[in-house]
Amino acid sequence: MTKATQTPVPRTPRGQRVKHDTATPKKSTPKPKPTPKATPKAKADEPKTPKDKQKLSTDSAPSAKRRKKTDGDLESRVFFNSRLNAHEADTEQFQPTREDRQLYDAARSAAALEEAKVTGCAVDASTPASTPGAVSVGYRVKKIRIGSYEIDSWYISPYPDEYSRHPLLYICEFCLKYMKSSYTYTRHCQKCTLRHPPGDEIYRDGSISVFEVDGRKNKIYCQNLCLMGKMFLDTKTLYYDVEPFLFYILCEYDARGYHFAGYYSKEKRSVQGYNLSCIMILPSKQREGYGKLLIEFSYLLSKKEGVSGSPEKPLSDFGLLSYRSYWRRAVYEILLHVGERARVVTIDAVSRKTGMTVDDVISTLQTDGMLQRKGVSYAIVVDKARIERFVELAREKAPRRIDSSKLRWAPFLTKNTTVVQEDDGDISV
């Protein structure tokens, strides 16, 4: 048996046409097999009118034989390890009917009335319970659970509607996230990795720490803080626009972390020279001197910046009481300390030493009757025995004080001003 040899085809130069040998036998291509002709359908199956075509296209019901076969397959199949039979596994028979919808609406209306009795809020009877917007405007959170404390709210806070319906709100004491149920709160506490406010710790004295949080860098945390603060502040109107503010968080430290106790906020660039916008101490932490501690801390930062500061007006009732008490103590201590060396003290000198504005110093002296008019000018009349008695009583209470040597902080905005440290003798005139 010999192998057929193939003669090589010579390569032609580029640009010339190749001439094929017509004598070479062509390969025979197999003829295609004839396809069987399709038998035309019966005329009875063809739709006669467009209506019949639509009926045929939409009719998806199986035939009787096919339905019997399908039912047989269902009976032979095993559902959920033989826990359900074919009839119980058929979900088509459980579609809600109109009667089911009416029962659902009636049950929802009864639940809304029951919730209104518990929360003490009115329900709009003209709005059906099944339609959105049936919730009354009068809903508000009555209590919050933060840490190990359950605290009654004082004012209405604009939480979202789905949270405002619940009389009790759960708040994480580290990240300040708010939740609706105790189960969600417990699960969150197990997963939350935050153990201190998301900012810089600028002051620490024993178990007390203060953190500086930027509203632009930690927007969600500061928004949650403002929503919680509105529950205890009547004059607060800022909730979501937190970027132009700095927040100073007061915390108590233990082995579990830094627990929230209170805060105050201030504008990064205040045109009026305010060093404090709002201040709030949790009711569970009040009567411990934290309010005056934060006020003293705000004036310490003002003295570090080389400016005099004042709180934003109007003040709340508790804020006004706290500030008047602090102003009186700060002015009395300066007058008592400086009055031993000099017989005359100026208001500007007291303002520089305390960090208070001249208006606040004058208001404090006028309230206590220590500013009297003599001819054209005014004079400070100091009752030394009264001042000594007040300072002595204040020291007996052992209030919390700020130690300026433990502050680690630089101003957010630096000014081209030179701060001059004056001695006590230079204050007198």
* Rounded Cα gap, residues 87 and 100, in angstroms: 21
Token pair listed for 426: 């230079």
* Rounded Cα gap, residues 108 and 23, in angstroms: 95
User: Other CB atoms closer than 10 Å to residue 290's CB: what's the count?
Assistant: 20
* Rounded Cα gap, residues 122 and 139, in angstroms: 8
Q: What type of residue sits at position 296?
A: E
* Rounded Cα gap, residues 6 and 28, in angstroms: 18
* Rounded Cα gap, residues 266 and 164, in angstroms: 28
Alpha helices (H) along 120-210 = 161-164, 182-191
Q: How far is CA 99 from CA 8, 88, 103, 132, in A?
A: 89, 21, 6, 20
Which residue(s) pair with 373 in the sheet?
A: 378
* Rounded Cα gap, residues 42 and 50, in angstroms: 18
User: Residues with catalytic annotation?
Assistant: 312
Check whether the bond before 314 is cis (ω within 30° of 0).
yes
Q: What is the DSSP letter of 3?
A: P
CA 246 to chain centre: 15
CA 237 to chain centre: 16
- How does strand 377-380 pair with strand 200-205? unpaired
User: Other CB atoms closer than 10 Å to residue 354's CB: what's the count?
Assistant: 23
Q: What type of residue sits at position 410?
A: A
- Categorise residue 141: left if φ over 0, alpha if ψ from -120 to 50, beta otherwise: beta
